[in-house]
Amino acid sequence: MSTLVIGGAGYIGAHVVRLLLERGEDVVVVDDLSTGAADRVGAATLVELDVAGDGAQTSLERVMSERAVTSVIHFAARKQVGESVARPAWYYQQNVGGLANVLAAMENAGVRNMIFSSSAAVYGMPPVELVGEDVECRPINPYGETKLVGEWLLADCGRAWGLRWTALRYFNVAGAGWPDLGDPAVLNLVPMVLDRLERGDRPKIFGDDYPTPDGTCIRDYIHVLDLAQAHLAAMDHLTSDAEPTEHVFNVGTGTGASVKEVVDEIGRASGLDVTAEVEARRAGDPPQLVAAADRIGEVLSWKAEHGLTDIIRSAWEAWQAGPRRIG
């Protein structure tokens, strides 16, 4: 019996793969290595495959039956908001089409358990201080839409053929569980600041006139290792429950940190001058997006163990262990 981790060579997936291997599970990774790297999957078997490509369903079915897969964790997706605005049809092909191929293969191979990487992007700009799972989802870009449609598709498969599924809506993921598994992309705040510092530039803050205590946007930062642990808790819960089941959980801490606080924390961890340049607000950035994280605590007994200081320290150590070491 094995667990299939699709997108397991990526930033978050590689953490989950390592935790599964550490507890002795048989793990197969399917990844096209478009943004992932083969050396991140350790001793897991790696099958190089584009799940949104021609013939993917048949190849996936073969992997599932040959490796006696019982559960799937699906990370593979494109995740750049701006790119999704520019290329919406491609985002639907990749994120929804890829997921549809995986689910069709699961149905044919008789695999019934799925954990899905969803996102706080499904909420859009909710008019509440703490965002609970039952807030109306109104995504404001195609990326967020593909995640919401993904959740609907899972629910449809649950009704049609008994898929048992959990969608985890991640808030702002950062940090590294191990120094070799840092975030390789420069898309989120922490790597963006480190990227600027490595180039000898000042960090950028987009807007300091938001209605927040220090004027910068507030987000809920979750340590990638805590997030990875949430996947194991979700999988254990899903597979121990005999009934058809579906769950949607926020994965966050319930506490926000402002952009300025994050930048200052990077200054403390690195000892570098992080005096920032303030630029105009970016379109579509809500002033505050913080999870109500009670449901996952109540149902899975999971809660985040690491706060902002741990997150930033681990991100800094991982950056310094990589090819773009500063100083």
Ligand X SMILES: NC(=O)c1ccc[n+]([C@@H]2O[C@H](COP(=O)([O-])OP(=O)(O)OC[C@H]3O[C@@H](n4cnc5c(N)ncnc54)[C@H](O)[C@@H]3O)[C@@H](O)[C@H]2O)c1
Among 94, 216, 250, 270, indicate the residue that binds ligand X (CB under 6 A).
94
Report if residue 34 touches ligand X, rule: CB under 6 A.
Answer: yes
Cα–Cα distance measured from residue 91 to residue 82, given in angstroms and rounded to the nearest whole number: 11
**How many Å is the Cα radius of gyration of the chain?**
19
What pairs with residue 117 in β-bridges?
168
How many other C-beta atoms are found inside a 10 Å radius of the C-beta of residue 173? 24
**β-strands 218-219, 288-291: how paired?**
parallel
Burial label for 132, CB within 10 Å (0-12, 13-18, 19+), is middle
Report if residue 45 touches ligand X, rule: CB under 6 A.
Answer: no
Report if residue 221 touches ligand X, rule: CB under 6 A.
Answer: no
| Identified catalytic residue from 11, 91, 123, 143 | 143
Among 4, 16, 17, 51, indicate the residue that binds ligand X (CB under 6 A).
51
Report if residue 188 touches ligand X, rule: CB under 6 A.
Answer: yes
How many other C-beta atoms are found inside a 10 Å radius of the C-beta of residue 179? 15
Report if residue 226 touches ligand X, rule: CB under 6 A.
Answer: no
Among 91, 123, 165, 170, indicate the residue that binds ligand X (CB under 6 A).
170
Nearer to ligand X, 50 or 133 (CB): 50
Cα–Cα distance measured from residue 220 to residue 292, given in angstroms and rounded to the nearest whole number: 10
Cα–Cα distance measured from residue 136 to residue 296, given in angstroms and rounded to the nearest whole number: 18
**Tokens linked to 102:** 């995986």
Among 18, 79, 164, 237, indicate the residue that binds ligand X (CB under 6 A).
79
What is the nearest approach in angstroms of ligand X to the Cβ of residue 177?
A: 12
Three-state DSSP state, 139: coil
Among 2, 28, 31, 142, indicate the residue that binds ligand X (CB under 6 A).
31
Report if residue 119 touches ligand X, rule: CB under 6 A.
Answer: yes
Complete edge-to-edge strand list for the sheet that includes strand 69-74:
45-48, 27-31, 2-6, 69-74, 113-119, 164-170, 246-251
Is 143 one of the annotated active-site residues of the chain?
yes
What is the nearest approach in angstroms of ligand X to the Cβ of residue 230?
A: 12
Nearer to ligand X, 174 or 278 (CB): 174
Among 20, 28, 52, 157, indicate the residue that binds ligand X (CB under 6 A).
52
Task: Please identify every residue annotated as catalytic.
Answer: 143
Q: Using CB under 6 A as the criterion, which residues of the chain lie in contact with ligand X when the complex forms? A: 7, 9-13, 31-36, 50-52, 75-77, 79, 94, 98, 117, 119, 170, 173, 188
